[in-house]
Structure 1
């Protein structure tokens, strides 16, 4: 098996192989953050999966819950699917989906508008999926408050670059 300098712990790699079969190659797919630990696993037949270790129990619970309950509302081709997870090690095994992050594509204004429209369609699907469980409501409210605070920060940074529209 071809491995990179930053490979998953052997125990987690064995755990993944018990679920997906032999792994032919491992590629570090972590984000450029200290606590990001993500690996792309390529199977013998060329199929890929992602092995991800969450940085904390809070993030693990949030993300694994989203893969179980929210992602199905988006549709199977629109997001990775959770193959398995293990709370003890904060690890998730996910299917790979085709595509690349929009930030890396060098999109123009027209393409960015299309991305935002697609995001709106996905948000609508989430709203149509039904009520949140009580355990998720508090966290969702906190996330909305944080997003609103972030929007205020970006608006302040934009300053004079934004123009006022009629009716505001």
Structure 2
């Protein structure tokens, strides 16, 4: 049986050339990112690091760019620090963050509001980090259209789980998303903010996993939150935007409604494939709520 903590020799050799001999290697459970991550310990001083290998060259490029050009704006302790990278191995060495994923933390309603308020401030700093090049700005402007184009594929994947009326509703959301073109752009996390947040009981949560980070309409970072913790907690949503510094514009609210519906269909398709009943049920609940809001 293969050791789950096994680290391939070329990758380990690079890590030890960078850090020094390692005395501990432990593969971490899958998290919000599809990357493989090992917790490693340096023998000389017992310092801890995370060794992360990206799932693709694109993910490696996005994440290393984020750590070099945007993440420093979050401030010390609010995100991992990039120690070293290897394009050959699609690998990076990062400092670890304390605590647990926010999605797994058991918090009171009041505490959750406080954490989301501070998370709003953190996300605002990320969105304002850096300035896009002309090419990045063009790609950011086309990002929502690409998400809209994927809607048909996800709708087909769920088969008869959607009625004819629901299919038309999803198509209308995708069509509307394509014509929303006055949306604020920024540097987004892109991978589901709540899943990337870690909480250790400190005054401010920290953010990790930037392999989907890019310049895009900032509203995309609100989708997973609207699909998850905000769905039944309007005060948590309000606290986030109080920390963020502004509420979404009318066009952003329209885009968020469209994106949340498309995300629900994508989540429903994924839940059916994985036979994850809870994920599929959540997706159905979100989709039904959106339908009721517009009278479908």
- Alpha-carbon distance in 2 for matches of 1:59, 1:65: 10
Contact 1:83/1:94, CA 8 A, preserved across alignment: yes
Please give the per-residue CA displacement for 1:63-105, whole angstroms capped at 9, x wherever unaligned.
1111111110001211111111111221111111222211222
> Which structure 1 residue ranges, 5 or more long, are not aligned?
none
Contact 1:7 1:39 in 2 (8 A): no
Moved more, 16-25 or 149-158: 149-158
Q: 1: distance between equivalents of 2:46 and 2:77?
A: 19
Shift of 1:18: 1.4
| Alpha-carbon contact 2:69-2:130 (below 8 Å) kept | no
- Cα distance between partner residues in 2 of 1:119 and 1:139: 26
What SS does the corresponding residue of 2:38 show, helix, strand or coil? Answer: strand
Show the counterpart of 2:95.
Answer: 95
The 3 A distance-change label for structure 1 pair 135 and 6 is farther
1:60 is matched with 60
The normalised TM-score by structure 2 is: 0.47
Say which one has the larger Rg.
2
* Pairing 1:157–2:281 present: no
Q: Report SS of the residue matched to 2:40.
A: strand
Cα shift at 1:37? 1.3
Alignment length (residue pairs): 161
Q: Which residue of 2 aligns with 1:29?
A: 28
- 1:111-126 pair list within 5 angstroms: 111-126=111-126
Aligned alpha-carbon RMSD (Å) = 3.1
User: Higher RCO, 1 or 2 (CA under 8 Å, sep at least 6)?
Assistant: 2
Q: Give yes or no for contact 1:30–1:39 (8 Å, CA) kept in 2.
A: no
The normalised TM-score by structure 1 is 0.78
Farther-moved stretch of structure 1 (139-148 vs 54-63) = 139-148
Aligned to 2:82: 82
Conserved in 1, the CA contact under 8 Å of 2:70 and 2:130? no
- CA-CA distance at 1:54 after TM superposition: 0.5
